[in-house]
């Protein structure tokens, strides 16, 4: 799965998986359209550090118990701040 976090449109309720697997994520917490920020490339999301989260349903392509030995990569651009 690949979550770009660059949709930059409307309330971030669903974040699209850019792969053919379509394991879209669902936003929770107090996320709204003001959480879209200008990013290094396109846009980004501002997580408040309290209750904002993205949840992805369990699916075989992203289940580490099934695919752990096949290899995986986690990558993120993170800009921490105290605001």
Alpha-carbon span 40 to 62, nearest angstrom: 27
Q: Is pLDDT of 73 > 80?
A: no
In this prediction, residues 53-60 reach a mean pLDDT of: 80
In Å, how far are 11, 45, 46, 51 from 71, measured between CA atoms? 33, 27, 29, 30
**pLDDT tens profile 12-54:** 788 888 888 888 888 888 888 888 888 777 888 888 889 998 8
Alpha-carbon span 45 to 28, nearest angstrom: 13
Q: Is pLDDT of 67 > 80?
A: no
Give the per-residue pLDDT at 51.
92
Alpha-carbon span 58 to 67, nearest angstrom: 12
Q: Considering only residues 41 and 10, tell me which one the structure prediction assigns the higher pLDDT.
A: 41
pTM of the shown model = 0.68
Q: Is pLDDT of 61 > 70?
A: no
């Amino acid at each position: 799965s690949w979550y770009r976090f660059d949709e930059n449109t409307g309330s971030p309720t669903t974040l699209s998986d850019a792969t053919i697997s379509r394991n879209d994520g669902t936003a929770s917490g107090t996320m709204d359209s003001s959480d879209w920020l200008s990013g290094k490339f396109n846009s980004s999301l501002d997580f408040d550090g309290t209750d904002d989260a993205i949840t992805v349903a369990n699916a075989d392509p992203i289940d580490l118990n099934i695919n752990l030995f096949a290899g995986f990569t986690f990558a993120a651009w993170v800009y921490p701040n105290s605001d």
